[in-house]
Amino acid sequence: MKRRSFFKLGAVAGALSVFKPAKASNLLSSSFEGSAEGPIILSTWSHGLEANRAAWNVLEKGGKALDAVEQGVKVTESDLNNRSVGIGGRPDREGHVTLDACIMDEQSRCGSVAFLEGIAHPISVARAIMEKTQHVMLVGAGANKFALDLGFKTAKTPLPEVKKDYEQWKKENKDQFKKPEINHENHDTIGMIAMDANGDLSGACTTSGWAYKMHGRVGDSPIIGAGLFVDNEVGAATATGMGEAIIRIAGSHTVVELMRQGYSPKDACKEAVRRIISKHKDLTNLQCCFLAIDKKGNYGSYSVYSGFNYALKTKSQDMLVDSEFDRNW
C-alpha cells in the first residue's frame, strides 16, 4: 500500500495527505511562510495536525513549549497505524523496530535516545535522559535498560501486520546492501517546534527511521543539530527526509545559525537545502526537508523535492501548509 497519496484541491497547487484525513475545518494553505503572534506550533507532515492539537492543549493553558512538544509527538508515537514513528513503525532489515528521538528546550538542555526497541514513548525517554542524567544521549541496550528501570511502557514490535509486510519485503529484496531510497513510501518523522506564551522555544523529533535500514543504522532524527536544534535567542529548526544527507550538513543547526545571521526561516531552510544539493552528485530519491521558526514567530520551510508539508497551529490557525521546494519528484 502506498504510504501517501495526493490529490489536488481546486487550483491550489498543494498537496494534502489523505493517509490520515484532515478534519473539514482544516484549511489547506499554499503559502510557504508566515508570521504569528503568540504561541505557535509547527510539525512535519500531516500527522502533525493531530499532534499539534495535543500540543496546543498545553500551550493554551499557559504551559511550556517543552511540555507541549513532548505531549504533541506522543500522539504520533501512540498511533499504531503510523509506520514511520513509534512502535507501529517498520523494522530494519533484520526485523527489529529501532526507535530514535530527541528533545531540546529553551535553556539548550537536550536529551536523545537511539536504537531503542519496544518502548512506547522514545520522546519521553529522551526527556528523562535530559532531566535525570548527566548525559545527552543513550543508545541501544543501555537506553533500553534506562527506560525499563524508569518503568516506561513496553510494547512488542514489530506489530503483526508490519511483520507481514516485512516478510514480503525480504522476499523481494535479497540484496542487503542495495542502494537505499527515501521516497514517498518509506519515511516520515515527526519533528515539532513550538513557541509558548512566554516566547520560549522548544522542539522534539521522533521516528522509527528509514524502513528496512541496516541493523544499527541511526539517522538524523536523534542527533542534536541534525534532526533538531533550538537556540532560544534565535529560533528552532527540525528536519525530515534522508537522515544521512541531513547529518552531513548538521542541518537543523545550520538553519538556526543562518537565522542568527539574518536569514528568514524559509531562506535559512532553502540555503540548507542548497548545501545538501551541492554536496550530493546523485539526488535520486534524496528528499530532505527543513522547517523553522524564529524568535519573532516567523516561520517557513523548504525541501529538495515537492510533496513535503507541515502542520501549523496558532490561536486562529489549524492547517497543513505546503512547503516550497527545489524540484519536482
Report, as residue numbers or ranges, the catalytic residues: 189
Residue 51's nearest CA partner among 59, 5, 298 is 59
Nearer to ligand ASP, 59 or 211 (CB): 211
Nearest approach, Cβ of residue 17 and ligand ASP (Å): 14
Nearer to ligand ASP, 19 or 58 (CB): 19
Nearest approach, Cβ of residue 310 and ligand ASP (Å): 12
Nearer to ligand ASP, 222 or 297 (CB): 222
| Contact positions vs ligand ASP (CB under 6 A) | 182, 187-189, 207, 209-210, 219-221, 240-243
Nearest approach, Cβ of residue 187 and ligand ASP (Å): 3
Residue 232's nearest CA partner among 141, 104, 133 is 104
What DSSP designation does 212 have? T
**Separation between Cα atoms, residue 265 and residue 236, nearest integer Å:** 9
Residue 148's CB is within 10 A of a number of other CB atoms, namely 12
Instruction: Report the residue number whose CB is nearest to ligand ASP.
Output: 243
Nearer to ligand ASP, 66 or 242 (CB): 242
Pairing, β 228-231 against β 235-241: antiparallel
Are the beta carbons of 54 and 45 closer than 8 angstroms? Answer: no
Rounded CA Rg of the chain: 18
Are the beta carbons of 182 and 307 closer than 8 angstroms? Answer: no
Strand partners of residue 105: none
Nearest approach, Cβ of residue 322 and ligand ASP (Å): 17
Q: What is the residue type of 217?
A: R
